[in-house]
Structure formats: C-alpha cells, structure tokens
Structure 1
Amino acid sequence: MTLSKRVLKMEESVTLAAAARAKALKAQGRDILSLTLGEPDFPTPKNIQEAAVAAIEDGRASFYTVTSGLPELKEAIVQHFAAYYGYAIEPNQVTVATGAKFSLYTFFMSVIDPGDEVLIPTPYWVSYGDQVEMAEGHPVFVQTTEAHDFKVTVEQLEAARTDRTKVLVLNSPSNPTGMIYSAEELRAIGNWAVDRNILILADDIYGRLVYNGHEFTPISSLSEDIRRQTVVINGVSKSYAMTGWRIGYAVGRPDIIAAMGKIAGQTTSNPTAAAQYAALEALKGSQDTVESMRQAFEERLNTIYPLLAQVPGFEVIKPQGAFYLFPNVKKAMEIKGYTDVTEFTTAILEEAGVALVTGAGFGAPENVRLSYATDMATLKEAVRRLKEFMES
C-alpha cells in the first residue's frame, strides 16, 4: 500500500513542527523558551467558559446542530458585522466551521477547479499554498519586499495574473509580518479584483489586534462591488483566547457559503456544540477582555521590539497588528556562518534554548518568526539569549 500523491507532496506545518520540537526538548528536561505558536497565553475569559459549561449541563450541547452553525450564533455574527464591519449581512451569508483554518479549506475546495491559480502575496501564512494544492489549484506566490512593508501592489498582482487566476488571498493584519494595508491600498486592490472578476479571500482573523494607533480596515467594507467579490474568514481563536475551541466562520456570497457548508457536511458535520455556545457568548458578551488582551500585546510589542532590534544581525520592521515579529536574519546568518534559515533556527534552538519558526515555510528564506503571545519575562529572557547567542 502506498500513500496518495496528494499527501506526499504536502509540507508539514512549520509552526506546528517547531512547537512540537520545542515540547520534545522540554520533555527531555531542556530549558526551552518557545516563541513558536500564534496562541494567546491568556485563558479563555470566564464568561465564555461558563457559557459552555451551562450548555453542557442543561443538555443543549448533547446533540447535532445545523452543519453550518447554530442559528443564534450566525445571528450573533450578523450583529458583529454590523458593529465592526459597518454593513448588514444575512444569516445565509454565514457558515460556521471547526476553526478558521477549516473555513479556508472549505473555501478553496468550493471554488477551485484543477489548474485554477490563486495569488498569494509572500510572506504568507504557511497553510495557504498546501490547501490550494489539495484543491488541485496552483498557488502563485507574489513576492513583496521589506522596503514596501511586505505589502503587495496592484502592479505586482497584474504582472502575476493570467487567464487562470481565480482568487487573491489577502491577510491583513498579516501573519507573519504584522503589517496592515491602508484603506487606500485595499481600495486599489479591491477595484482591480472586481475589474478582473477575481475572488478576494480576506483572512481577517487578526483584525481586532492592532496597536499604537493603527487601524484595521476590512476590504469588504469599502464598496458594494468589492463586498460581492469577497469572502471573509474570521473566528474567535485570536481575539478571545479560544484557540483550543476551534470555531471559525466565513461570510460572503450565499452560493459560495452554501457550497462551503456542503463540504463541511461531508467531512466534519457541525462544529462542536459546546464550543459554538462558547463562541456565542464571546461575540455577544462583554468585550472588555478583548481590549485588555490587546493592550497587553501592545505593551509586549513596544517593550520587545527595541530589544530585538539590538540583537546583532537582526533587522526588524515594527509590526502594526497580530502578535508576531518577523526579523530579517540574513546578516545574522552571515555572522554565524549559516546559509540556510532553517538550520539557523535549529542552531538557536539547540544552543540558546529559544524556539523560533523558520521563515522558509512562509516563503521568506531570510527571516524568522517569533510570537510575542507569551509573558513578558519569557520574551525578555528569550531576546537576551538571542543576543548572547549572536555575540558568542
């Protein structure tokens, strides 16, 4: 028996692989500081936990729900869009899934035919390309530059476009760079996509995690034409410290949303009922913890960024959102005698006890990613170790 060609050409998630390696070394008794996963270190807020417990205790969580999500949860998402996106949607434009990652998967499986091309600006979140290939599409990576704050331009997109181009993936704030597109930049990209009948996949999962006066603009909010061309992916994992609950959702054209629900119906069925009731409370309950966590991330960024910039060979642009730093380490590798960024991150792990994520999996072979979604003491010690490693 042999494995499928599909799975053989898939890459392992570099973020999950780095986290697993760090955990394995910790289990061996090593002193390892892990800055790998994009996972808030805060517990899920108490009111959200209590909502899930109540749903379990009164029996609501014991049964299947509608595959596309609890009607009351979809209604809460409708209200969320009115409050934070500034426009009205209907429940038939919403589908809830087992995490935003699975929402992305069902989108690609719903709209991509063999040979269709998907434009993905680099650096990019690690799963976009593999998910496109699972749908038998072709990912076309469009290289951005640090000089332009890692943001793609209309001119670059037009140069990469062919008659097979069907989708543009747009992630703002970005994982891994933390950069945010301005309303003007988004309007130009949105109008370009509308004129060429290219779908926009807007990954807005970090939209409420922005810092130092910067603003998140949803591309879908800019015009009715752009909105019709856009499917929004979002979820509760990042803003509400609910990564383990696995609830994401998509908003867009009813025909695409219905197709995504059909994929879920033949794979996962409904998301876990108790998690859906927790997500309902997250969206409808107090939003105070969202802001307190955002402020904590902002303080960490403002503390750690200048310290990391002092590490020899680490050149870093200050991010505007999400919770990642993405330094260019080309000079650092030259100082230490490395030419491969993955080997360089392995050396940092083995010698300094700091787990970072190689930029190779993000389409950036001169960068590393570190997450500041952990406590300040760990962050300061990790940067101290990086500086010591570079100066040794």
Structure 2
Amino acid sequence: MNPTDTISDRAKAIMESPMRADLEVYFDALENLYHPSKNPQGAFPLNMAENTLGWNLLKSKIQQIQENEIVPDWASKYGNTLGVDSFRETVAQFLSTFLIGCPIQQEHLAFSSGLTSVIDLSVFLLANEGDTAVFPAPAYPVYKNDIGAIPGIKRFDLQTHDTIDELSAGIPLDEKSLRQALKTLEESGERFKILVLTHPDNPTGAVYSDKQLTLIADWCIDHRIHLVVNEIYGCSLIDTNHPAIAGDYPAQVSFRSFGNIMAAYKSPYLHLWYSFSKDFGISGFRVGLVHSYNEAFLNAYANANLTHSVSNYTQWILQCLLEDHDFIADYLRQYQKELTACYVMVVELLKKHQIPYVPSRGSLFVWIDLSDWLEENTDIGQEALWLDIYHATGVLLTPGEGFGHRQKGHFRLVISYHIPSHLRVALQRLDDYLQKTVRTKD
C-alpha cells in the first residue's frame, strides 16, 4: 500500500509543499556549525531568523527568576485561553512602554504558542477558505505555509518595485498599487480579504512611515479589508545615526508602531501581531500575540485557541521578566547597540564590493543584490550561486526563492544568528569568495 493513500488530500497537499527552500541545507549546516577552536572550518547559517545577541543577558535573568521566585499555583492549572490575566496585563504594560508607546488594555490582547499559531488562527477567523491575503513583495516565504496549510488562504505577492534601489527610501506601497491588486484579484475571481505588512520589514529592514500606514489603513477600512501589521521586529532597531551608515539614510523615517493608529481608530479591520521570538531571541519559548479592537474576532479567538495556548509556566517566566522595566530597558539598549554593530560589519563588506543593498532601519536582515554574479538570470542560476557560496565558504544565505519578487539574484543575510566575533569570520570568508569570483556582468 502506498503510504499516501492513508492520509487526507489536505495532508498530501501539505506534504508536497515544502515549508521553505533552504531547510534541508540549513539542517546540513547545523550539523557542522563553526566553533573557533572545536570546528574552525565549520558552517555559518545566516539564513534563519534567529537572534543570539542578547541571550546571555536574558539567560542569567531567567535563571535568577527560577532560583529566587516561587512558582504560582496557577502555573499548573488551566487558565483563560487568551492568556492568564496577570500575564496579559504585564504584556500590555510592556507593549505600551517599549513598543507601541501609548496605553493599551489587556482585553485587546490574545496569546498563542508562537507567532505562527497567531497567524494561522487569525487568518482562519478573519477570512474564509479560498480568500486571498496580499503581501508586498519581497515577503517572508513561510507566510504562504502559515496562511495556507490549515486556514486555506491564498497568498498574492504584490510587486511594488522593479529594482532594489527603489527601496532606499522605504517600501513604495500606496493606494495605486493596492487598487491594482484589488482589480487583478477581482478579475481573476478572487477575494482580497487581508493585507499583511511586516514593520520593520522581512527581508528588507524597511519601515513604513506613519503617514503611509494611515493612508493604507483608511483604504483598507473603506474597502472592508483587514489590515494586519506584523511588528515582530519592532524592538530590533538599527541606529541609523551611527557614523558608518548615517549617509545611507537621507530621509529620517523612524519606526513608529501601528498600534498608535489602531488606538486612534479602534476599527474592527485593524490588527497587530507581535512575538518575543526575535527581539528577545527566545523563539523556543513559543509566545506570540494579536492585538485587536475587534470584539467578535477576540471572542472567536478565545473559543478556538485552546489547542494553541501558551504554557502557563512560560507565561509566568515571561511575566516575571517583563515586570522588570529597568532590566528590559537596559537589555534593549545593549541589544540594539550590538545589532547595529553587526549590521555595520555587513554593510562595510557590501560597500567594499559595491553590492547593492537596502539600508535597513530594523529587523535582523540585510537584503542584498548579487545578480551581477549570476551565470544566468533564472531560478536555476540563483540556486546555483546560492549553493556555490555555501559549498565554497560554509556561509548559508537565504535564497530569493519564495519571497515572491520577480527579480533574480537577491538574497537575505541574517545579521543576528552569530555573535559579532563569529560573524566577522563568516564575512571574511564571503570577502575572500567575492574577491576570487569574477562578476558575470563585469
């Protein structure tokens, strides 16, 4: 018997749809990780959005909590499926102070086991199977799986630009491009139900201006389209005033949370996603949230979230951590300083080799253009270059496949996966490779 005959058609479709193009090679790199003394020839995965820069500081604080605090009885019991009340209140205060910048209330928050669960459940409740969610391209590849595998929502990649230099001042998303996306989808018989923005963006590191977000919010409300802004990198900000990179930012557009617009509008069509995975480097804790003023949505979320709920013990640990605002402020200062230092190292290499890139204002990434090194301007040519870099240097970038942009030769480089001293070794290997490899377009 064929094993696939024992599973559902839905399972077959999921099985045949890889989560991301680089996963197998990533696991290969993990088996051979670089270590300065134990494995100096090892690999450098710069493709996975992991943040290790602040873990030592957080680890010490978490160990201190476990040693000095008494575990509450509620940690061992069932609780509110949206999140334990004291935890929700603590996170509301954290968001108000460190991310959104204006007061929000716990009743407008719901928590699930990681942002993937939040995305899965949010789109399941906001749209019907077969509806379409629109993403300005390039966009995080796994969004396709997050919204499609279980909720059955389609992904549409909206092309807002042709070349990477058009992103130097931000993502050129406006009403004209939204109207075109709506027209294209309607003409093909599809329903534009959700618009998802990542802010700061994955993979470009760009941010949306407050004016831009307001115009987009107005358009979405007018057309009864849900606008969801993913701010999972909202505290992973680059110091754009750093002297080594300040010249890359002629227009000083600073990150400002979409939560401020939500607080003013209180519209049922506006929502915000966040997780502690990236800013705090604790992806293994599996804690994500949705912020919304849509009461019907949150009521449905409460009923559907039992299978996605966060462990009460995890909520307790995070509650203790987030209650210490002095520690959080100090952590974010140190983390952002180190993140900026890593970004500067990468940019210096890119400038040395005249490689086009998007000046990042936040996130864990640099979006770079290596199209001048492509043997052929195709998906095959792009994959060949990606694998050649990995096999020659041990440095694994995220390939452009799956990001939804039509241009070839663009890659994502994660700046936070390794501590600065290890990242420096990886960049030296890339430097050697680029010096030895002739540009195909020279």
AA in 2 matched with 1:94: L
Deviation, structure 1 residue 173: 0.3
Matched, 1:259 2:300: yes
* 2:109 corresponds to: 94
Which secondary structure does the structure 1 equivalent of 2:91 belong to? Answer: helix
The one-letter amino acid paired with 2:154 is H
- What is residue 257 of structure 2 aligned with on the other side? 218
Over 3 Å counting, the alpha-carbon distance change for 1:96 and 1:381 in structure 2 is: same
Contact kept, 8 Å, 2:133 with 2:156, in 1: the verdict is: yes
For 2:376 and 2:391, the matched residues in 1 are separated by: 18
2-structure distance, mates of 1:289, 1:171: 23
62, 67, 70: which one aligns with 2:81: 67
Task: Give the alignment of 1:10-89 within 5 angstroms.
Answer: 10-14=17-21, 16-26=23-33, 31-41=42-52, 42-43=54-55, 44-52=58-66, 60-83=74-97, 84-89=99-104
Deviates more, 1:163-172 or 1:33-42: 33-42
Alignment match, 1:137: 153
Matched residue, 1:245: 285
Task: Report deviation, 1:57.
Answer: 5.2
In 2 relative to 1, CA 291–17 (structure 1 residues): closer, same or farther, beyond 3 Å?
farther
The match for 1:7 among 14, 20, 24 is 14
Quote the Cα distance in structure 2 between the aligned partners of 1:340 and 1:258: 49
1:376, distance to aligned residue in structure 2 (A): 1.8
Q: Contact (CA 8 Å) 1:80, 1:283: kept in 2 or not?
A: yes
Which residue identity does 2:30 align to in structure 1? Answer: K
Q: Is the 8 A contact 2:19 2:145 kept in 1?
A: no
Q: Is the contact between residue 33 and residue 355 of structure 1 (CA under 8 Å) also seen in structure 2?
A: yes
For 2:146 and 2:367, how far apart are their aligned partners in 1? 23
Q: Is structure 2 residue 274 aligned with structure 1 residue 234? A: yes
Measure the CA separation in 2 of the matches of 1:132 and 1:388: 40
The question of 1:332 aligning with 2:343 is answered no
Correspondence for 2:139: 124
**Preserved CA contact (<8 Å) 1:220 1:227:** no
When residues 311 and 17 of structure 1 are mapped into structure 2, their CA distance, relative to the original with a 3 A threshold, is: farther
Amino acid across the alignment from 1:251: H
Match of 1:386 in 2: 430
**Equivalent position of 1:350 in the other structure:** 391
Aligned partners of 2:83 and 2:111 also within 8 Å: yes
**Structure 2 regions of 5+ residues with no counterpart?**
241-252, 437-442
Judge conservation of contact 1:117–1:167 (CA < 8 Å) in 2: yes
1:184 — aligned with what? 211
Of the structure 1 ranges 144-153 and 160-169, higher mean CA displacement relative to structure 2 is found in: 144-153
SS at match of 2:401: helix
How far apart are 1:98 and its partner, in Å? 0.7
**Aligned-pair Cα RMSD in Å:** 2.7
Distance in 2 (alpha carbons) for counterparts of 1:53 and 1:249: 28
Q: How many residues align?
A: 389
Assess if the C-alpha contact under 8 Å between 2:349 and 2:431 holds in 1: no
- Matched residue SS, 1:82: helix
Partners of 2:19 and 2:142 within 8 A in 1: no
The farther-off stretch of 103-112 and 39-48 is: 39-48
One-letter amino acid of the structure 2 residue matched with residue 292 of structure 1: Q
Provide the residue aligned with 1:171 in structure 2. 198
Deviates more, 1:143-152 or 1:379-388: 143-152
Distance 1:378 1:345 in 2: 21
8 Å contact 1:52–1:275 — kept in the other structure?
no
Match of 2:230 in 1: 203
Q: CA deviation at 1:25?
A: 4.0
Deviations 1:252-301 (A, max 9, x none): 02221232333321x23x31222111221333212111221011101221
SS of the residue corresponding to residue 237 of structure 2 reads coil
Whether the 8 Å CA contact 2:165–2:357 is kept in 1: the answer is no
Cα offsets for 1:185-223 (capped at 9, x unmatched): 111111111111111111001111112245212223126
Q: 1:337 to 1:118 in 2, by over 3 A?
A: closer
Task: Check if 1:154 corresponds to 2:175.
Answer: yes
**Runs (5+) with no aligned partner, structure 1:** none
Tell me by how many angstroms 1:48 deviates: 3.4
1:93-132 Cα shifts (integer Å, max 9, x gaps):
2111111221111111112212211111111112212222
Query: Residue in 2 aligned with 1:369?
Result: 412
Question: 3-state DSSP class of the match of 2:196?
Answer: strand
Aligned to 2:126: 111
TM-score by length of 1: 0.90
Structure 2 CA distance for aligned equivalents of residues 339 and 16 of structure 1: 17
- 1:16 and 1:280 mapped to 2: Cα distance? 33
Report SS of the residue matched to 1:187.
Answer: helix
Q: Which amino acid aligns with 2:94?
A: H
Among candidates 318, 326, 335, match of residue 359 of structure 2: 318
In the alignment, what sits opposite 2:249? Answer: none
Given the superposition, is the C-alpha separation of residues 126 and 18 from structure 1 closer, same or farther in structure 2, using an over 3 Å criterion?
Answer: farther
Cα distance, 1:16 vs structure 2: 4.3
CA contact 2:379–2:401 (8 Å) conserved in 1? no
Q: Which has the larger radius of gyration?
A: 2
CA distance in 1, matches of 2:25, 2:315: 30
Q: Deviations over 1:73-111 (max 9, x none)?
A: 111122234334244433332111111221111111112
